[in-house]
Amino acid sequence: MDNSKRDVDAILTQIQPIILDYLKQIFPDEEERNFATIIELVKGVQLSADDATRELALNFLCEAERDLKSCKALRCKKIYPYAVYHLQQAVEKATKGYVLGFGLLGEKDIRAISHDTPMLFLKALVDKTGLRSWANQPGNQGLKQRIDNAYQAVNEEAKRQEIVRTSRPSIKKQLSEIDRYRSISRQLCQYLRAKVTPIVGVDLPLQSLQFMLTLPTLFILGVISFPHEEYTRYPDRGITPSDYIASLGIVQSIPDMMKYLSREIRELKEVLSP
């Protein structure tokens, strides 16, 4: 274990009681052991120490920004199938940059997963961190249901088509969860900076905080967008490019999704840049 990793572990261990106390104030009905598990997960997250991997992660983020520009231009021209396709590609590439940059998966892993963006999180967080065993414990049925739903979305054609047909109000409701998570994260960061920094004498490990801040946003955007990679391009599927009309929920939601994703890409680039 290198010195930087030991320093982060030491700081997070020292401030753990303060974090737990604050989380219990926000979520009084949640079990304390769940918070402890989250902190252990954060303690295990570090930026990739490999320069080539970090560079590749940043390249993915830059390509995601290019896809967003293409999405905007195509939407203005009302070429909706390919606007949505480039939106999906932007989410996928941003997520690959995220999991690479934080050392959750390697280049071979993301090549094997291909376009099923939710699998990037399922492989990184469920299979590699023990999150599945935690979800199977009594009292964690909500987390277990989310994991099961994500696997169902990836593996079942009917579920993928259901996601493609999601209405704008439903997408808007899912995006509102991003606002809720970020609000809680901001409150936590402000609280920690005010209470913790004077105790430990140094600033907090912001990369770990950014990891938790970005995770729900990319996961939610990934579940909403990933099936469109296939249906926007091929006319021989259950849903075809001709179905991508102005009234389709995902088409109506492009500006909102671009706004959320642009912010995450910008913040990730700041954290991952040398």
Q: What is the number of alpha carbons within 13 Å of residue 151 lying toward its C-beta?
A: 10
Q: What is the number of alpha carbons within 13 Å of residue 38 lying toward its C-beta?
A: 19
Q: Cα separations (Å) of 176 from 131, 217, 221?
A: 24, 10, 11
Establish if 225 belongs to a structural domain.
yes
The encoded tokens of residue 7 equal 């320093």
Structure confidence at residue 3 (pLDDT): 44
Of the pLDDT bands very low, low, confident and very high (cuts 50, 70, 90), residue 265 is: very high
Quote the mean pLDDT of the chain.
80
Structure confidence at residue 40 (pLDDT): 59
pLDDT (tens digit per residue) in 106-148: 888 888 787 777 777 777 766 665 566 666 666 556 567 767 7
In terms of pTM, does the model score above 0.85? no
**How far is CA 58 from its chain centroid?**
16
Structure confidence at residue 62 (pLDDT): 97
Whether the per-residue pLDDT at 165 is higher than 90: the answer is yes
Of 60, 15, 56, the closest CA to residue 39 belongs to 15
Range of the domain at 137: 45-272
pLDDT (tens digit per residue) in 173-224: 989 888 887 777 777 667 766 766 666 555 555 566 677 677 778 888 988 9
Establish if 8 belongs to a structural domain.
no
Domain count, the chain: 1
Residue 193 has phi, psi (to 5 degrees) of: -65, -40
- In whole angstroms, give the CA distance from residue 220 to residue 147: 12
pLDDT (tens digit per residue) in 73-117: 999 999 999 999 999 999 999 999 998 888 888 888 888 787 777
